[in-house]
Amino acid sequence: MLIRRADSLLLIIDIQQKLAPAIHDNERVTANSVRLLEGARQLGIPAFVSEQYVKGLGPSLDAIRTAAVDARFFEKTHFSCAAEPGVVDLLRAAKRPQVLLTGTETHVCVLQTAFGLLAAGFEVYLVADAASSRTPENRSAAIERMRAGGIQIVTTEMVLFEWLHQAGTADFRQLLPLIK
C-alpha cells in the first residue's frame, strides 16, 4: 500500500499555540508537519488543517500557518475531524482516497480522526514522526492501537519519497531541501 501523490491528501490536526508547549517532542512534530505541508504545496497535493476549539487553545502555530498557505483550515469542537459536520464531505470532495495524518494529540484527536476516516472508507496513514501527545506513553499506546486497527504507520521521509516515486526529476530536485 504505497502512498500515491495523485491519490493522497494531507491533514494536520490541532498543532495549536496553547497546546503545543505541553506536547512531547513538539518541535519535531511541528518541523515534520511543516516539511509535509511544503512538500504537498510544491507537488499540488491538497492539505487541510484542523483547529480544536480556537477560543480555548488558540490558532495553529505560526510555523504551521506560514507553511499552510494553500491549505484549507477548519475549526472543530469534536475530537475527531470525521465527527465534525461537513469535514468528511470536505475531504471526499478532494477525490483522493488516501489521508495522511499528523498532529496532536496522538491518543485523542489524531486516533479518533484516524478511525473515523477509516470507517468512512479512506486509506489512513499516520505520520508517526509528525504526531505526538503530552506523554510518550500515550503516543506509543495510540500508535500501537492504530496499527492494530488497520492504520498504516509511516514517517515523514516515507511520505516524501513515495510522493516523489523516483529520483532525477524536477520534483525530486525541488523537494531535496526538505529531505536533506
Residue type at position 29? V
Annotation says 76 is catalytic = yes
Going by C-alpha positions, the residue among 118, 149, 112, 150 that lies closest to residue 131 is: 112
pLDDT of residue 180: 79
% pLDDT > 70, the chain? 100
Is residue 155 in a domain? yes
Q: Which of 14, 81, 129, 171 is catalytic?
A: 14
Report phi then psi at 102, rounded to 5: -135, 170
The model's pLDDT over 2-56, given as tens digits with 9 standing for 90+, comes to 999 999 999 999 999 999 999 999 999 999 999 999 999 999 999 999 999 999 9
In angstroms, the CA 168 to CA 113 distance is 36
Is residue 51 in a domain?
Answer: yes
Instruction: Report the distance separating Cα 119 and Cα 161, nearest Å.
Output: 27
Residue 163 is assigned to a structural domain of this protein: yes
- What residues make up the domain containing 64? 5-69+81-179
Predicted confidence band of residue 176 (pLDDT cuts 50, 70, 90):
confident
Distance (Å, whole) CA 10 – CA 163:
12
Which tens digit of pLDDT belongs to each residue from 52-100? Answer: 999 999 999 999 999 999 999 999 999 999 999 999 999 999 999 999 9
Helical (H) or strand (E) element with 98: strand 98-104
Instruction: Give residue 1's pLDDT.
Output: 83
Tell me the CATH number at 12: 3.40.50.850
- Count Cβ atoms within 10 A of the Cβ of residue 53 and give its class: 0-12 exposed, 13-18 middle, 19 or more buried: middle
Which of 76, 81, 129, 171 is catalytic? The answer is 76
- Selecting among 7, 62, 109, 180, the annotated active-site residue is 109
Residue 76 lies in a domain: no
**Does the annotation count 14 as an active-site position?**
yes
Question: Does a structural domain hold residue 126?
Answer: yes
- Residue 132's φ and ψ, nearest 5 degrees, are -160, 180
| Number of compact structural domains in the chain | 1
Tens digits of residue pLDDT in 153-172: 999 999 999 999 999 999 99
**Residue 70 annotated to the active site:** no
Residue 26 lies in a domain: yes
